[in-house]
Structure 1
Amino acid sequence: MLAIHARYRGREIRRAELVRRSARALSTLEGVGEFRSLGVEDICADVASPEALCDTAMALLSDGSWAIGIGVAPAGDEDTARVAATASLSSGARAGAVKVRLRPAGSTLAADIAAVFSLLGHVLAKRTLEGREATSLVRSGLNQNEAAEELGISKQAMSQRLQAAGWQAETAGWQLAVNLITRADAGSGH
């Protein structure tokens, strides 16, 4: 079982409303259960697959205002996964931090998963608006030619934007995170 807990760490004055809107939006991602509010700044959801978990974590990291906790527990034990995700976040967790807790504990996979997300967060934080637009279109399923046409730029300009945005590093990191979470999920008795 997989779960994700997110704690808003941004500076929005109307944070409760922003957190509620974010929970609704994140709940529409494929493979993500309904996010539940756990107070003014905290939301938590069960996640169906390592891919869905990575997509959700990437969405939160892209925003730059969330601390993220990930919990992995044996199949059928949603409560343990949720508790692990919540317990992984300390009260002082900073925006962009990703903490991971595995049940049963005992491997280095939790630290490895957190490290991959730290690197991905760095790539995402350095991205320009143009880079975010380009990667968003390609991530949504468009090829480079279609994305370039959508933005009204040349294929070469699209290629340059993707390169400057760290697209290759993002896709490699995303796949590594999926692989590590898959191993952790299998190791938890799945």
Structure 2
Amino acid sequence: MLAVHARYRGREVRRADIVRRSADALQTMEGVGEFTFLGVEDITARVDSPSALTDLIMALLSDGNWAIGIGIDSPVWCEEAATKAVGTRAGAVHVRADTSGTEAFDIEATFALLAHVLAKRTLEGREATSLMRRGLNQNEAAAKLGISKQAMSQRLQAAGWSAESAGWQLAVHLLALAEGNLR
């Protein structure tokens, strides 16, 4: 069982509105359950799979205003584990799992590297990687943006697309291992 707890740490006014709109958008992602509100800044939800959880964490990290906790545990208290894991610093991911190994540390380290890649990304890089994440190939994405394939390739390289792809795969793999160790 997987759960996420996200705490808004942005400086915007009307925080409750931002958190509610974010939760409404995030729960439309495939495999993400309905969010429960835990006060003005905190939301939590169960997630169906390691890949859905990784997609959700990547969306929260891309925004840059969320502290994130991941709970990997029994269905009874998975959300509680995520709540205990959540930190206070935006862009940080903490994991709480009942394992004897280093899975939690490895998952945190993987998301720290992904957060670094995402934080360095320009608007053009975000546009390019967003299209790739939707399943378009480079030629299709370049045509959609009205640029050459070479320019698309350069944008993806500058945006760290290969590092993001490798990090995403690693995060999914580590989450699956941690979840499997609990069964």
**Which band: TM-score by shorter chain?**
over 0.9
Name the structure 2 match of 1:188. Answer: 182
TM normalised by structure 2 equals 0.98
- For 1:94, the aligned partner's letter is R
Q: CA shift at 1:37, angstroms?
A: 0.9
Shift of 1:89: 1.8
Instruction: Name the structure 2 match of 1:70.
Output: 70
Alignment RMSD, CA only? Answer: 0.7
Distance of 2:108 and 2:168 partners within structure 1: 12
How far apart, CA to CA, are the structure 1 residues paired with 2:23 and 2:36? 7
Tell me the equivalent position of 1:136: 130
Give the fraction of aligned pairs with identical amino acids, expressed as a percent: 68
CA distance in 2, matches of 1:105, 1:97: 21
Give the CA deviation at 1:105: 3.4
Q: Residue by residue, what CA displacement relative to the aligned partner does 1:25-49 show, whole Å, maximum 9, x if unpaired?
A: 0000000001111110000000000
User: Is 1:101 the equivalent of 2:119?
Assistant: no
Equivalent pairs counted in the alignment come to: 183
State the TM-score, normalizing by the size of structure 1. Answer: 0.95
- Deviating 4+ runs (over 4 angstroms): none
CA distance in 2, matches of 1:116, 1:99: 11
Q: Tell me, which stretches of 5 or more residues in structure 1 are unaligned? A: none
Distance 2:93 2:100 in 1: 19
Q: Which residue of 2 aligns with 1:21?
A: 21
Q: Cα distance, 1:128 vs. partner?
A: 0.3
CA drift of 1:107 comes to 1.7
- CA distance in 2 between partners of 1:171 and 1:58 (Å): 11
5+ long unaligned stretches in structure 2: none
